[in-house]
Amino acid sequence: MKKKDFAVFSFILAVGALLAYLWLSPSGHPVAPVAAFKDLHGKQFTLAELKGRPVIVNFWATTCPGCVKEIPILIQMADKYAAQQLQIIGVSMNYDPESQVREMVKQKKMNYTIVLDSSGELARTFNNVTLTPTTFFINKQGQIIKHKLGEMSHNEMENNIQQIML
């Protein structure tokens, strides 16, 4: 093979390899962290066990007005998407007393999974969450599709859920 033919062949091979990589590479969304939860009823589970289901992880506090305002929306979404196996996990911050969290869950009739982050480990695991509400939308493949700091409207919540249902 002549030098010129070899150079052209090498160039075509390199371009083909690059295109194959781009075509087959992951979507670019970060993978959700390895996280273990324990709900208010003592049930333990991991995020890895939920792979194949769309998941929302919502860090909240009982003293956060925006968080409290989001609760009815999360309740509604839990009902609306139960058949599609949407898993909503409300993670109360480490400064929230357990009794206060339990009282709010009862008072607001929160129908989704609530976990206590007493040690702050979950907040650290999810990139050092310090402000509430902070919400992570995780698709069925276990990738974080959206990370939102701050309160969401009904429409914004609905749009983000649609993205993780795919």
Contact between residue 89 and residue 126 where contact means Cβ atoms under 8 Å apart? no
Per-residue pLDDT tens over the stretch 49-99: 999 999 999 999 999 999 999 999 999 999 999 999 999 999 999 999 999
Name the pLDDT band for 20 (thresholds 50, 70, 90): very low
Cβ-contact 126, 54 below 8 angstroms: no
Do the domain assignments include residue 17?
no
The model's pTM: 0.83
* Structural domain contains residue 92: yes
Q: Is residue 6 part of a domain?
A: no
Summarize the confidence of residues 3-10 as an average pLDDT. Answer: 56
Tell me if 24 is assigned to some domain: no
Q: How many domains does the chain have?
A: 1
pLDDT of residue 19: 38
- Asked if residue 40 lies in contact with residue 102, where contact means CB atoms within 8 angstroms, the answer is yes
Residue 74 belongs to domain with CATH number? 3.40.30.10
Dump strand ranges (E) for the chain: 36-38, 44-46, 55-60, 87-92, 113-116, 134-138, 144-149
